[in-house]
């Protein structure tokens, strides 16, 4: 089987001044450029407030293009939060996949346990850690993400992204500049 892909034109092609070279656009290096220059700068919808309807509800959003995994959680206080889906002890993925409802999240590696608000609750063999500051070792919120869950204009949709491509739609504002800060009440 041949790995070559040929584009066949139908109709009159004599008037075409240029052909679009596609081969270099199908390389891993080109995709990496797109990933950095387009996707990391764009707002991407990752969920809706209804995806996490009650306290303890969670959903995992894997974003391979951004090389990250997010854990979207509704806390006991009703606020929707977005965390890096990584245990702060050894960097293990905290929740493998899916969605559900839990009162806490425990890492399968060493059993560190976190609240839906991201607080570190339990450290296995805590007495063996000198000067352990549990308050500083909670789940890492993704402040750039989870914007919009409490925003009427955004319809409860949470966005991820660093920079904005919605300039025309939102007249120079990011989708949720007018919304409460990340982790806002819904």
Structural domains in the chain, CATH included, are 50-145 (2.102.10.10)
Q: Which residues pair with 59 in a beta bridge?
A: 72, 99
Distance CA 130, CA 123 (A): 12
76-113, pLDDT tens digit by residue?
998 888 888 999 998 899 999 999 999 999 999 999 99
30-39, 58-67, 105-114, 174-183: which has the minimum mean pLDDT?
174-183
Please list, in sequence order, all residues whose beta carbon lies within 8 angstroms of the beta carbon of residue 107, skipping any fewer than 6 positions away. 87, 89, 90, 92, 94, 113
Whole-model pTM: value is 0.68
Q: Give the pLDDT confidence score for residue 170 in this predicted structure.
A: 41
Higher pLDDT, 96 or 39: 96
Distance CA 124, CA 118 (A): 17
Using alpha carbons, list the distances in angstroms from residue 158 to 46, 60, 97, 104, 120.
6, 13, 19, 22, 24
95-99, 117-121, 157-161: which has the minimum mean pLDDT?
157-161
Q: How sure is the predictor about 160, in pLDDT bands with cuts at 50, 70 and 90? A: low
73-77, 98-102, 162-166, 175-179: which has the minimum mean pLDDT?
162-166
* Mean pLDDT score of the chain: 76
Residue 75 has pLDDT above 60, yes or no: yes
123-147, pLDDT tens digit by residue?
999 989 889 999 999 998 875 544 5
Percent of the chain residues topping a pLDDT of 70? 69
Q: Give the pLDDT confidence score for residue 143 in this predicted structure.
A: 58
């Amino acid at each position: 089987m041949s790995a070559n892909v040929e584009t066949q034109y139908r109709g009159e092609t004599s008037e075409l001044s240029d052909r679009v070279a596609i081969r270099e656009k199908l390389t891993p290096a080109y995709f990496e450029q797109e990933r950095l220059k387009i996707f990391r700068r764009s707002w991407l919808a990752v969920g809706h407030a209804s995806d996490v309807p009650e306290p303890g509800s969670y959903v995992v959003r894997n974003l391979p293009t951004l090389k990250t995994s997010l854990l979207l959680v509704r806390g006991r206080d009703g606020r929707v939060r977005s965390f890096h889906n990584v245990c702060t002890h050894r960097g293990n993925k905290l929740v493998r996949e899916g969605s559900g409802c839990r009162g806490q999240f425990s890492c399968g590696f060493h059993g560190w346990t976190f609240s839906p608000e991201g607080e570190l609750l339990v450290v296995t063999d805590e007495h063996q850690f000198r000067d352990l500051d549990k308050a500083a070792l909670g789940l890492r919120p993704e402040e750039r993400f989870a914007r919009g869950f409490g925003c009427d204009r955004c319809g409860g949709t949470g966005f991820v992204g660093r920079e904005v491509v919605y300039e025309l739609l939102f007249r120079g504002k990011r989708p949720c500049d007018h919304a409460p800060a990340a982790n806002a009440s819904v």
